Structure 1
Amino acid sequence: MAAKTSAGRFFEDYTPGQIITHAVPRTVGTAERALNHMLYPARHALYSSDEFARSCGLRASPLDDMVAFHVVFGKTVPDISLNAVANLGYAGARWLLPVWPGDTLRAVSEVIGVKENSSGTSGVVWVRTRGLNQHDETVLEYVRWVMVRKKDTSAPAPETVIPDLAAAVPADRLVVPEGLDFSRYDFDLAGEPHRRGDYAVGEKIDHVDGVTIEEAEHMLATRLWQNTAKVHFDVSARPDGTRLIYGGHVISMARALSFNGLANAQMVVGLNAGVHANPCVAGDTVRAWSEVLDRAETAAPGVGALRLRLVATRGGPPFELRGEDGKYLPDVLLDLDYWALMPM
């Protein structure tokens, strides 16, 4: 009898130039917004209030940038990271169009790099993914790389191809949503008085609050985003018998915690680089701090851009990132470099 089920792709199944169309398209709505707010302490006004969004020139409140990212990312998991050891990093992400309630999202990826690890039991796969809406418009694009197990350790190593990735998304390639206007921005309703000009390059911000990650909420979140990677659900998939917390869960938690000090960093429009520095498991307390890396202007009225490093830690002291050996400290969970839009 022919097999009807799939064990997913393994490292030797990827070839540079390969195009993968991911199943299954998903229509998103206000339920995803409500669940996002339930799972994370997300309070940015533009994604909480239709009226606030209208006062900023948009037709209504779009879905949170990270909701769009999670949905598109989840589409790719059965084809890219079902047999992953770990998701390693991100680069070159741009949010190109808002995602509105009622939009249907799907994803397409191109394999752009492969490199077998020296152990011969796994390898790293780089993919460029696009999230498209029902009009075949690209709403989001990003590169990520993931370590994937080999099915046959005796299979010959493929020719190494490592993509040449830019260090950052240039400010002039950031896309501001059509109509966005912060010239009449209501700082009282947004929650803080700080404009882009109030942040100095090199400034560091301790976001103060912390959230202890629970197994149940992680399982709910990962299922919500239809992420099926075995390491998130099956304790036999990892040598230490723990479920690995989905890296996007840590990103959303840290981004939500950054509200305290960056309440006016309303929209994420670019992701320059991102690394999951150490694994996160249930019981870890996530805290966050940010560093201002750069500032830029846009052509939209009253809208500026701030480049930020967002660091999530496992309850460790703020502002510490690497040890004397240059490696990430063991309590650093996430190192994320992104662009956000905020009022001038």
Structure 2
Amino acid sequence: MTKSSSGNFFEDFRLGQQLPHAVPRTITTGDVALYSALYGMRFPIQSSDAFARATGLSRAPVDNLLLFHVIFGKSVPDISLNAVANLGYADCRLLRPAYPGDSFTARSEVIGLRENGSGKTGIVYVRSTGFNQTGEAVLSFVRWVMVAKRDHGRPAPDPVVPSLPSAVDAAALVVPDGFNASGYDRVLAGSLDLFDDYAIGERIDHIDGMTIEEAEHQIATRLYQNTAKGHFDAVVQRAGRFGRRIVYGGHIMSLARSLSFNGLANAAFIAAINGGRHVNPTAAGDTIYCWSEVLDKQALAGRDDVGALRLRTVAVKDHGCEAFPAPDADEGASVLLDVDYWALMPRTALDTAASNGVARPPATHA
């Protein structure tokens, strides 16, 4: 009997199946430093213990997407090792902040199955949940992935496609325990623009670009213990669908989040991901740019210091976003990512440097 695993194929999944994932993982300050080096993250609460403490937190929390990638990576060996493509996300909720030194486990439930017309692949829908060392849920999300069949002649299961919300209700968004924006210094943060300075329908060109290096995207994917073959095995991929290694889609998410600092510097936390699609694959050598649109904004019950912006961020490759792509992100192979999410942003803040002649940064709003 073989002791190694080739992963699950479409016919190995069944509705309601519970999949506990190996291996427990502690996120350390070293992981945080490497994540910052890979993406150039500059959001101040995640960058500085002193800044975070001024807002009522005990120290700088782990970046929300680093936590997402770690939990996602745990699910890969059981769910998407034989994936043709990771298709999308929905109903992602950040439930509790994570801090360096916290340890995480994950499990998933199969909530939908649908074989494709070719009979060679099928779509698997799962809800994955991450837990900290005390057993508290920290993150929950749904994703759907196209998985190859081992036996093309195997009869298809009855199709079940889960009903998912178009967006997480703003009333369900979680503000980290202890956070109080009255101590948030918007000058030190790098932008004077707060929640009330953004308008629904506004579009922001984030201007800057970042080129993906082969080593960097593979280091990033290994950081999350993501074992998907498409990101590493050049021999297999040369004969495959794309002819080369493709970049983990989450790498594009983090690049876009980092680039969005220029225009959304005070979007302090990602509170939920309403939906997201990897529209096209990307590879080393591509240069990533992005733009965002404000889809909605909501005050939070009982909070006058922080509000929620619903944002759509679109990442493209190899050209800037001055003219913005057409609203239909499927137009053109240059569009890589289209993600809809809620970000928490202060409504009130300190201006410790504003009275000392610090100039207001030039606006980058379209």
- The TM-score, its normalising length taken from structure 2, stands at 0.91
- What amino acid sits opposite 1:342 in the alignment? M
Matched, 1:57 2:56: yes
Q: 1:307 aligns with which of 291, 306, 310?
A: 310
Counterpart CA distance in 1 for 2:242 and 2:160 is 31
Report the equivalent of 1:320. Answer: 325
Once the two structures are superposed, the pairs formed by residues 144-183 of structure 1 within 5 Å of their partners are 144-183=143-182
Report the equivalent of 1:244. Answer: 246
For residue 162 of structure 1, report the CA deviation from its aligned partner: 0.1
- What amino acid sits opposite 1:18 in the alignment? Q
For residue 321 of structure 1, report the CA deviation from its aligned partner: 3.9
Pair 1:13–1:99, CA change in 2 (3 A): same
Contact 1:182 1:301 (C-alpha < 8 Å) held by counterparts: no
5+ long unaligned stretches in structure 2: 348-366
For residue 322 of structure 1, report the CA deviation from its aligned partner: 5.1
Contact 2:89 2:276 (C-alpha < 8 Å) held by counterparts: yes
Contact 1:75 1:107 (C-alpha < 8 Å) held by counterparts: yes
- What amino acid sits opposite 1:240 in the alignment? F
Contact 2:44 2:189 (C-alpha < 8 Å) held by counterparts: yes
Counterpart CA distance in 2 for 1:114 and 1:321 is 32
- What amino acid sits opposite 2:114 in the alignment? K
- What amino acid sits opposite 1:201 in the alignment? I
Counterpart CA distance in 2 for 1:137 and 1:28 is 16
Q: What CA deviation, in whole Å up to 9, does each residue of 1:4-56 have, x standing for no partner? A: 11000001111110000000010111111101110002100000000100111
Contact 2:45 2:268 (C-alpha < 8 Å) held by counterparts: yes
For residue 328 of structure 1, report the CA deviation from its aligned partner: 3.5
Counterpart CA distance in 2 for 1:32 and 1:159 is 42
Report the equivalent of 1:278. Answer: 280
- What amino acid sits opposite 1:294 in the alignment? D
For residue 241 of structure 1, report the CA deviation from its aligned partner: 2.0
Report the equivalent of 2:343. Answer: 340
Counterpart CA distance in 2 for 1:41 and 1:81 is 28
For residue 317 of structure 1, report the CA deviation from its aligned partner: 4.6
Contact 1:181 1:301 (C-alpha < 8 Å) held by counterparts: no
Counterpart CA distance in 2 for 1:101 and 1:147 is 34
5+ long unaligned stretches in structure 1: none
Counterpart CA distance in 2 for 1:261 and 1:169 is 24
Once the two structures are superposed, the pairs formed by residues 65-84 of structure 1 within 5 Å of their partners are 65-84=64-83
Pair 1:224–1:154, CA change in 2 (3 A): same
**1:320 partner SS:** coil
Once the two structures are superposed, the pairs formed by residues 220-239 of structure 1 within 5 Å of their partners are 220-235=219-234, 236-237=236-237, 238-239=240-241
Matched, 1:329 2:336: no
How many equivalent residue pairs?
341
Report the equivalent of 1:135. Answer: 134
**2:68 partner SS:** helix
Counterpart CA distance in 1 for 2:176 and 2:327 is 36
Counterpart CA distance in 1 for 2:326 and 2:58 is 40
Deviates more, 1:309-318 or 1:118-127: 309-318
- What amino acid sits opposite 1:68 in the alignment? L
Counterpart CA distance in 1 for 2:320 and 2:25 is 40
Contact 1:322 1:329 (C-alpha < 8 Å) held by counterparts: no
For residue 330 of structure 1, report the CA deviation from its aligned partner: 1.3
**2:23 partner SS:** strand
Q: What CA deviation, in whole Å up to 9, does each residue of 1:234-255 have, x standing for no partner? A: 1314333211100000000000
**1:128 partner SS:** strand
Contact 1:92 1:143 (C-alpha < 8 Å) held by counterparts: yes
**2:56 partner SS:** coil
- What amino acid sits opposite 2:41 in the alignment? A
Report the equivalent of 2:186. Answer: 187
Counterpart CA distance in 1 for 2:319 and 2:287 is 9
**1:6 partner SS:** coil
For residue 184 of structure 1, report the CA deviation from its aligned partner: 2.6
